[in-house]
Each structure stands twice: as C-alpha cells, then as structure tokens.
Amino acid sequence: MNSKELTEALEGMQYPGISRTLGELNLISSAKVTDNRAKIELLTVSDDSYLTLRSALEERFSGSFSALDISKKQLAQKDSNYGSAAQPNNRAPYTKNVIAVTSGKGGVGKSTVSVNLAIALAQKGYKVGLLDADVYGPNIPRMTQTDLERIKWNDDNQIIPSENYGLKIMSVALTTPTMDTPLVWRSSVAVSALLQFLEDVAWGELDFMVIDMPPGTGDIQLTMAEELPITAAVLVTTPQTVSTDDVSRAIMMFKDIKVPMAGIVENMSHFIAPDTGTRYDIFGSGGGKRIANKYKIPMLGQIPLDMQIREGSDQGLPPVAKGTDKQKEYYRSIVTNMLNNIDFN
C-alpha cells in the first residue's frame, strides 16, 4: 500500500458507531507510507475520539505495514486569550460547556442551527441554555415560540429565562416593548447587556450553554471569548458563502483567540424536490468540505434547503422537535459528530 492508497482507505473508513466516513468528517490530517512504514496524523480535538479512532486504525492496518505510527495533530486549545496569555474569565460558572454558533455572514441559518442543536442536546438528556447574542437580529424567541413573553424577575432579583422545548432561553428581544422594536445600541451597550444575561439570569446548573452569536467578527465575539471559556465554536455556512472572505476571517479569528472549532455545518447545502425526491445541487456541492480541508476543520454535516424547515422555524416549530424523522436526523447527527470532536465536561 502506498501513501495514496492508504489515504483513500482511511478516507473511506467508517467512524466507529456512526454512519460517516473519516473523509466526510475530515479527520485525517496526513497519511504517509515510506519503506512499508505508515505514519498517520489524525485531526481530532478530543482525547476520547482520538483513542477510539486509533484503536480502530490499529485493528485495520497493523497487519498491512511493518510499523504503524498514529498521532494526533495538536489543535488550538482554549489555554490562552486574544492578545494576552491570560485565561479567559468565566462569567458563567454554572455551565459545564459553552458552544458558540457563528457564521461569516447573516442569513445563512445560524439561528436555526443554534435552536435545533440546543434542542438536540436537550433531547440527549443534557441541561441546556440558549442565549441569543445576536443583539441586532434577535430571532430565537420567534423560533422557539417564546416571543410573546416579556422579561420577569424572581425574588433574588434575577431574570427568569423563558422555557420551551426543554431549553432555558434568553434574548434581548424579550426586553424590548415589542418583538420588532429595533435596537439602536452602541456595541458597548450590547456587550454589557449580554454580560448581564450571563450573570443575572437564573439559568440554574447547565451542561451546555449554546450561544447564537452575531455574524462576523466584532466586539461581541471578542468579548464573549474573553469573558467565557468557550468549549468550541460551530461555523455555519451556505454553499454560496463558503468561499467568502467573511468565512475565512471568522475561522482565522477563532484560531487567533484560541477557541477550538468543533466544525462546519453546511446549511441549505442542496435541494431535494418534495415531489420526486430528486437532489439538486443548486449552488454547487462540496464547498463546506473544501473549506474544511483548507483549514483542517471537521465537517459536522449538511442540511438541505427544505421549505418545511423554513416554515417550521418561522412558526416556532423547530424541525428537530416537530419535523420529520429525516429532518430530526440532520441535526441529531450534527450533535453526535460535534460531541465526538470536542473535549467537553
């Protein structure tokens, strides 16, 4: 077996226990064969998934080579902060993990993905909070049918979060007189409102806090990375936005501020005709995969452009809770892949 054959065999191999190949999950950093000795470098963030993969590879390939050297490529870890060596603060000690859902541009489905990933985590039995940090386009309340609620306080002077679909939910949209009141805030004001949501909301104990971040790379993203130990970021793209500068900038920023990337979700990736079931790659295919390869970030999954996903989301009926089995599976498999890729508590 030469290097090319080994790479192909690795890419086609199934990840133990899930129906995705190592190639699809982008878990191979490099594979080389010299003098019948194989050297494989894996691209995993968590130790668990590294050990699982290593033993699967040893079982499969140890008979094929005279030596098999499997190692893990070191990815950015959450051990330093943007522009300084200090640990990030922790304004949310009540949560074990923080997942930041991000995108280069708006309108790519970041909020839809945040809501459905959060619900999928809750469906797995985790205690989950969902914080709408997209202060200039807060649409989590509409998507979770909490838009008619207004802010309430408990006896300890803490804000009571809304609850639905097994989530605790907080959004600036709950603080304005009506849902569609536009917020005209300087970013410093937006940042302090978010810090208040981290500190003054009665979240209780959480396993995961999922944050729907604003698109792009501004003050709010940097502040969140400084004020919270972000376990991992999930980057949402569409095939049209995949190769834009905004996506590269978002990836570079998270690398710079040493927030590990759990992976990329390609949303609205293709269209399946509801009548015939035919798949149309309207915007071309494989964009998410290309960017995953380029930046050595795992691919977590693709979600098709599906009219029911739009209708359900806009009516506050999230597909992972109220959709078809197939729609549920898109989000659940992304969560499974994400948990395989990150070191979480």
Applying CB under 6 A, which residues contact ligand ADP?
103, 106-112, 137, 139, 267-268, 303, 305-306, 309-310, 313-314
Please count the residues of this chain forming the interface with Mg ion, following the rule CB under 5 A.
Answer: 3
Q: How far is the CB of 193 from Mg ion (least distance, A)?
A: 17
Phi and psi at residue 205, in whole multiples of 5°? Answer: -80, 135
Q: Which residue, 81 or 238, has its beta carbon nearer to Mg ion?
A: 238
Q: How far is the CB of 10 from Mg ion (least distance, A)?
A: 37
Q: Which residue, 281 or 314, has its beta carbon nearer to ligand ADP?
A: 314
* Residue 111 within binding range of Mg ion, rule CB under 5 A: yes
Q: How far is the CB of 152 from ligand ADP (least distance, A)?
A: 26
Q: How far is the CB of 39 from Mg ion (least distance, A)?
A: 43
Q: How far is the CB of 93 from ligand ADP (least distance, A)?
A: 28
Q: Which residue, 229 or 318, has its beta carbon nearer to ligand ADP?
A: 318
Within 273-312, which residues bind Mg ion (CB under 5 A)?
none
Q: Which residue, 197 or 330, has its beta carbon nearer to ligand ADP?
A: 330
Residue numbers at the binding site for Mg ion (CB under 5 A): 111, 134, 139
